[in-house]
Amino acid sequence: MAILTAGPILVFDSGVGGLSVVGALRRRLPEASLAYACDNAMMPYGRREDSWLIPRILAVCEAAFAVSDCSALVLACNTASTLALAPLRASLSVPVIGTVPAIKPAARLSQSRHIGLLATSATISRPYTLQLIHDFAADCRVTRVAADALVVQAERWLAGESVDAAVIRDALAPLWIEPDLDVVVLGCTHFPLLKDFLVDASPKGVNWIDSGEAIARRVAEVVPNASRGLVPGASFVTGYDARLTASLAAYGFAEPRRLNIN
């Protein structure tokens, strides 16, 4: 009798940002088998050209898909999802769950009808993002802030290094120009990893929203019979880096294997 086994849920990001989504997945699906892949050799993605990013994201995700034998791919990167979800879905034979800025819940929550979007340079100006704002926050003012510097800070923090409070304060400053803004969307998966620093650096209380829980809910719907976790899960990188290995180990992933990308 054939024994059918479903592979792990593969989580992909440019760097460690997807680990914020891993946290949400583990809370919702504590027994599911997870694997992690990142394109650390080429991160950050946030200021790269779309014409370079699309084939690159496809190549890395296809390579990780082939070696992980995954049952689903979670594209835990807003910069990648707002650009490459459709070609990835066309290319892979498993469900692909994307991560896009949580504009809809933010608009539902805002009393003042003024929300902030904190994301990479790429994400804040993508047609996909503008369409989300048009569809779900048409009656809101949306202050879009490129905060690429926070990606580097999140990588440092996870690697056990200190975070630069001045960088965080400067990155957030454009949000506070108008006093009525009451909700901030964390539209980059790296940013929830810095949440305590973001709250500390804010001159007033606002609601911070990220997409982690919504993605985990969606994954639970799409992969109802997720296979049970092999601990530690496999991980895949595009370049060896001892600090990254330590960050992955802290989230329960095995020593990474290097993907060969042509």
Residue 115, φ and ψ in degrees, nearest 5: -120, 155
Nearer to ligand DGL, 7 or 21 (CB): 21
Nearer to ligand DGL, 44 or 116 (CB): 44
Residue with structure tokens 């896009």? 100
Residues in binding contact with ligand DGL, number by CB under 6 A: 17
Q: Does 56 bind ligand DGL (CB under 6 A)?
A: no
Binding residues among 71-110 for ligand DGL as defined by CB under 6 A: 77-79
Binding residues among 143-172 for ligand DGL as defined by CB under 6 A: 151
CB of 225 to ligand DGL, least distance (A): 28
CB of 146 to ligand DGL, least distance (A): 10
**Nearest-5° Cα angle at 257, 253 to 45:** 85
Is residue 34 within 8 Å of 26, Cβ to Cβ?
yes
In whole angstroms, what is the distance from residue 34 CA to residue 215 CA?
14
CB of 25 to ligand DGL, least distance (A): 15
Binding residues among 174-193 for ligand DGL as defined by CB under 6 A: 188-190
Nearer to ligand DGL, 46 or 233 (CB): 46
**Per annotation, catalytic residue among 38, 61, 70, 77:** 77
188 is a catalytic site residue: yes
Residue with structure tokens 């390579």? 63
Residue with structure tokens 């800025």? 101
CB of 32 to ligand DGL, least distance (A): 21
Burial 12-41 (b: 16+ CB within 10 A, else e): bbbbbbbbbbbebbbeebeebbbbbbbbbe
Residues recognised as catalytic: 77, 188
